[in-house]
Structure 1
Amino acid sequence: MTTLASSNTVSLGRQPILDAKQQVIGYELLCRDAATDMAAANRLKGDAGATDVLVSALVEIGLDSVVGDRLAFVNFSKPFLDGTTDIPHQADQLVVEVPPSVEIDEAVASGIRKLSEQGYRIALSDFVYSPRWDPLLPYADIIKLDVTKLTEKQLRAHVQLLNDNDIAALAVNVETHEQYEMCSELGCALLQGHFFSQPNVVDGKVVRTSYSALIQTLAAVNTLEAGPDEIEAAVSQDPALAHKLMKFVNSSAYGRRSPVDSVQQAIVYLGKETVRRMVNLLLMTSVNDKPTVLTRTALVRATACKNLAHAMGEPNQDAFFTVGLLSLIDAMLDRPLDGIVQELPVTDAFKEALLEHRGAMGACLDAVIAFELNEPLAPDNLPLMVSDQCKAYLDAVTSVEQNEGMASMLPSSGRRIDEAAFRGSAYSKQLAAATAEA
């Protein structure tokens, strides 16, 4: 979960929501108290005060800075759901989540119907069927199913019913590859959890040649003694990598009048450390069978670690960047992290930062991961206020969203109300039966 700060020390947590192909289609946004570092996002779901703070922060920061061009899933409190308070964001990018804590009365049912008619997507959060949900089922576009609260048989029955009724099943708390594979096999359209950041290690798995070459290039590029000639030699051994680097440096972002036509020239123009960072990123993105969210998460970690290093006045900020970037290399290569790190000729401090989160680099990485998982920060872990750490994260996320944007949208809400109502009564009975099954 990425944590973003607003100027009044309130931070927003975001957790990616992926489709079946592991492409990010949106983020669930949650509220966190940056002043006291209370990881209370789950407790505050649907709380009126938390919703007000969250909506105000989104207006202040800007929705595009938080989610880019993807969807924002937000748990709203009763005043927003029953129409007492207007939602200050357009329908094309917002998913209105109804938390289980909200009392569903006639006013809420009427408000949800109007929001659906206005084009807002409606999601029922932490859903376990009971008759209280019946008034909202006709307008639901997405239903969130907690894999820890339903048996596989119940989950299968729910997903089949949802798919048959043109409602997207969103499996939440998907934390392992086994759970991901089960949900995919059952036909869940969307998934939420941190399974994508875990290595899928299989006993006896053969490492592909391309991965071995990748590790060798990583080792050569990240050797502390490596100079421009050594980096050029390592990059030039991989024509595809060299091509990507040249294309990157000649992009419009650098505004050069004359093109850079060699790796050596790119190193001279950009500097050794900038090229090192680019090569690390390009190498990671060359793992084609991994979700883009994994690379994006690694890049956010890297940028945030460097931002934290800058805030602390650390001299070797590029090392902090590389630690953050390589912190997910185990999930990229589906190999244990300690084995990969031992193959890299880096300092003991670098290894300890990656493997044990020790030292200044390790402390920054530890803070970054704590924000991702919405966990409390270790006391006195960094000589920075929590709000300053949140700002470092906001700057990192904004930078990544501006440079790594991906348009991906769900089908818009447009079903006719009479058709939905016709479906609703029979569907409620089917859901009740599915929930009752052991």
Structure 2
Amino acid sequence: MYGYVARQPIFNQQQQLIGYELLFRDGEHNAFPDIDPDEATSRLLSEQHLLFGVERITANKLAFINFAEDSLLYHFPTSLDPATTVIEILESVRYSSELMTACRELHEMGYQLALDDYTFQPEWQRLLPLISFLKVDIRQNAMDELPQLLRQLKGFTGKLLAEKVETMTEFHQLQAMGFHYFQGYFFARPEMLKHKQLGHHQMHLLSLIAEAAEPELDFDKLVQVIERDLGLSYKLLRFINSAYYARANPIQSLKHAMVFMGETELKKFIALVALSNLSVTDQPELLKMSIIRARFCDQLTKASGQLELQSSAFLTGMLSLIDALLEQPLEQVLAQLPLEEAIKSALLQQQGALGKSLQMVLHYEQADWRHYQQQANGTIDGQTDVRELYLDAVDWAEQLQQLS
């Protein structure tokens, strides 16, 4: 499953890049699909911004994003950073007092507004004090008529942006008329970007992993989330009734199961089950290795006497292969998870106490005994049977996979 977006650069008078207009696409044909504009905006935000961040697509330049009427009235833009977002009001939007109110509120929140395909109609004059960019389609306005039309904008303090500029001659003419910014095929055609897209179910599972990283779990909230997913509910009950949690009487209530497991073990369960359902790869060995690393990191941290770090160590080991499992760069995946910085530093730079535990696991996996011992000296008690800890992790992973 892939997500698509096109971006077309916008330049200033010196032909320096100042931002991109982001254009929703639903396939590789690089054309706007036949769908409602509000749906296009909603999908662009959910498929691009919520997963990867618009700032990555625009390289931290301004992002010009189209918004139709309903998405403006319902304040869809407020999930975006006002410092780097230009809210582009589509030409199909009808002027109304409700629109004026919504635009004023967005303006007061710090967003820059742009009027797309400005038609110089009188009803839009009232909105101009809130507008930072007026986009003028030069294919809809004759070049020799533009100077007269622009005189209607006396007192307008925003910037003029010319769209569909296709030649050097047009660029120079528009410069002379006072246009500040330019967009069109003369500079660049829309560039297609394609990336692996996570489905809604996978986004839901990522949120569960994030919940497992919280300092304190909200049991009631977790019950509400998990009980909506029959598969997760079933796995929780199987997990709690497995040999590792042997009980005289089986547990059947989700809340009862969570309380019995306790916060530390419940965090592990959430992370494990979410990860096992999140994977888009056809390599079950990667998932098994992630589980082994999670358990091994957890046990090494316990053996070093750092009991307060066990949950974080488990999560660090478990997420150490998430980039391979999701076929996404590690930095991008971690950016979506509100993990503590110690976990991120361990995963990205192998720094800190958690990073040291992860390094020991990696050295042990590779039979790099010299570097393993360097890390273990002064950390792991010499009486600890590390081989037994590793085999325990392997057995644990085997049993968990049988529960899947």
TM range (shorter): 0.3 to 0.5
Higher relative contact order (CA 8 A, sep 6+): 1
TM-score scaled by length of structure 1: 0.42
